[in-house]
Amino acid sequence: MNLPSVQEIIDDIEFLDDWESRYQYIIDLGKQLPEMPEADRLPELKVKGCQSDVWLITQTEGDTLHFRVYSDAMIVKGLLALVMAAYNHKTAAEITAFDIEGFFQAIDLEKHLSPTRGNGLKAIVAKIQTTAAHAL
């Protein structure tokens, strides 16, 4: 998975004129996420608090956390790609130090999401941040 960096995403989204184009960009990011085999989509790996089905698998390699995520909803996959750009392949310290709210504000994201999508996004972020905090 070769997602753009957080700064590249901010720059790309700022370049786009309207939210229809920005949504399409976010959906296209989600298409870059690898598929998750159905066998890996276990109930205990589902993220609670999301309207759509979202699965999160965490693997640790040394002090680096690696995540695999999946959703069957296109826009949610795009939101997961944003979160992966911020958190995947980072140390627990980098994850807990990263200003995810600042990232979302920089791309003007939250006011363009429905309340249920926003809550789901917060649930995913909270799960990853909790995982990182426990790894410290």
Q: Give the E-state strand segments of 10-135 in sequence order.
A: 54-61, 64-71, 90-91
Residues involved in catalysis: 50
Instruction: Say which amino acid occupies 123.
Output: A
Q: Which long-range contacts (C-beta less than 8 Å, at least 24 apart) are formed by 32-39?
A: 32/1, 32/2, 32/3, 32/81, 33/1, 33/69, 33/70, 33/77, 33/80, 33/81, 33/84, 34/1, 34/68, 35/70, 36/68, 36/69, 36/70
Q: Which residues contact 92 (CB under 8 A, 6 or more apart)?
A: 63, 65, 132, 133, 135, 136
Instruction: Say which amino acid occupies 89.
Output: H
